[in-house]
Structure 1
């Protein structure tokens, strides 16, 4: 059996939530236990656009705040979506390679669509295939409250063959969307937690699921 010390760390690009930042996501993720963090090489990216309105984390976390793209109030029309994809690809080209994504909320909605878009040749065509996703409070474009950006219109046309780990909060206002997202993936792994719309701490059970998931990824890369 391969010695754990000789396995390279899993390199992950982390995408934050709406009107927050890479630094804020970093503070939340770094609360996780050492047995998980020691396996990961985490890179936290800020969204390309400064927040265009008030952030829900004002007074809790310091600015600046960013967003990945914009949508109208009904989430039926999106702007700057192509620019966002180009920004992420450019960052990955200059700072990669990356094995997969860890993402929260708006970042997780975006990341969930990336493997399908990449397979269709409409996004991330210049970088390596995405090997896995870790989705925290994720959702699917085209499901319930979220419309579909044109570029993502076929992202979920067939089950996504990409290992995925999904955090679903019992009190999360996006719980239904996070559950619906599971159906888009061939073999999703799920961690349920009692919290709301946040990056939860890991209890012993969640830790075991996550370590097993990361071990599986390490054997793949």
Structure 2
């Protein structure tokens, strides 16, 4: 293979999972607070969750409906309804519109995103699509359902992952617990609450570095695979 300068970089392709009782267009609006220099390095696809909101949305009056939710849960967040249907819905979209390199998730979408690599490795989700390689987690946490958690976090999450932790986020403690299940996560701390923050100079540098690192990983691997296929030797 040629030198690093010969590697053709392509944009990492992320499937973006929105927060509870919002929608893909809302997440797109929130993500577009980030500068064009970041957005231009990513191929982002936004998906609406499968179920119409079954209650009031926190974003009513701020963003227009319709609002959706990925699955339903009890007050303790330990029992889920329609979780398997949610996984099948995501997989079906990935089969039809993939391949994807990773997930970008916010809030409920972030919890789901961080659980999917382990569920995929266990063979209980996303069995028809390529392995998830990268994660961008904003305001995330671990899923608490025992039957899901034992499969999702049975081993450290080895995907390179970027996490946003807000100092005023009510999920901050749970986002830190998620970090403990990740192998070598990159963490951007910000002063805001449960939101997708704008990037200051330091966080912009960290995010750009993370994206460029995974771009190089993707492109090097793909170029190597291309050379291997072209190699006529037995």
In structure 1, what is the Cα distance between the partners aligned to 2:150 and 2:113?
14
Paired residue total? 215
Give the CA deviation at 1:196: 0.3
Residues 136-178 of structure 1: CA deviation (Å, up to 9, x unaligned): 0000123xxxx33x24432111111111100000000000000
Partner residue in 2 for 1:2: 5
Other structure's SS at 2:45 match: strand
In structure 2, what is the Cα distance between the partners aligned to 1:192 and 1:202?
10
Partner residue in 1 for 2:106: 104
Question: Which runs of structure 1 show a deviation greater than 3 angstroms over 4 or more consecutive aligned residues?
Answer: none
Give the CA deviation at 1:73: 1.4
Other structure's SS at 1:2 match: helix
In structure 2, what is the Cα distance between the partners aligned to 1:13 and 1:2?
28
Residues 117-144 of structure 1: CA deviation (Å, up to 9, x unaligned): 11111100110100110000000123xx
Unaligned runs of 5+ in 1: none
The 5-angstrom pairing of residues 45-194 of structure 1 reads 45-142=47-144, 147-148=145-146, 150-194=147-191
CA contact (8 A) 1:122 1:151 kept: no
In structure 2, what is the Cα distance between the partners aligned to 1:161 and 1:77?
26
Residue 11 in 1 paired to residue 13 in 2?
yes
Give the CA deviation at 1:219: 1.2
CA contact (8 A) 1:117 1:152 kept: no
In structure 1, what is the Cα distance between the partners aligned to 2:51 and 2:80?
14
Residues 3-43 of structure 1: CA deviation (Å, up to 9, x unaligned): 79x41111110000000000000001012111211110110
In structure 2, what is the Cα distance between the partners aligned to 1:205 and 1:134?
17
- Higher Cα Rg, which structure: 2
Give the CA deviation at 1:76: 1.9
Match of 1:215 among 212, 215, 221: 212
In structure 2, what is the Cα distance between the partners aligned to 1:112 and 1:100?
10
Give the CA deviation at 1:2: 2.8
Partner residue in 1 for 2:197: 200
Specify which structure has the higher proportion of helix.
2
Partner residue in 2 for 1:24: 26
Q: CA RMSD in A?
A: 1.2
